[in-house]
Structure 1
Amino acid sequence: MPHIIVKLWPGKSEQQKQQLADAITKDVTRVFGYGEESVSVAMEEIDAKDWAEKVYRPDIVGHVERLYKKPDYAM
């Protein structure tokens, strides 16, 4: 079942994070045909100063073959 982890900088409100989780859940159920009970969404806050080391290099550059949407920038 899909488990989605959203990595983001700190500073978004709980309401914003919940809205994003709800939108992701809605789209996953629509596109994949799963029930909402099968989807989980987590938020992982990463400080901007740690972004390159903890996200960009290992998750983006290190696994470019898994990306379906690439960032429009390079670090």
Structure 2
Amino acid sequence: MATINEIMSDLDVINQQISAVIVEFNEWLDICREMGMTDDEILAKINEHWDFSSFSSLEEAIEWFEDLGI
């Protein structure tokens, strides 16, 4: 059975990985906007590449990432 310290260490690693994904997503989102892509075009790319087809709007996708609390 894992100790509390081992679990906390594992959670820290997971948090770092999620943080890296959020940073990468935000950078990608900025590039898309700089290229003049519309929210619908960006959402289509999100759904295509990350299979988040349950998102009905770009705002909903962004809120999902923000709700991770990172």
Q: TM-score, normalised by structure 1?
A: 0.31
Greater C-alpha Rg: 2
Work out which structure has the larger RCO, using CA pairs closer than 8 Å and 6 or more positions apart in sequence.
Answer: 1
Q: TM-score, normalised by structure 2?
A: 0.33
Higher-strand-fraction structure: 1
Higher-helix-fraction structure: 2
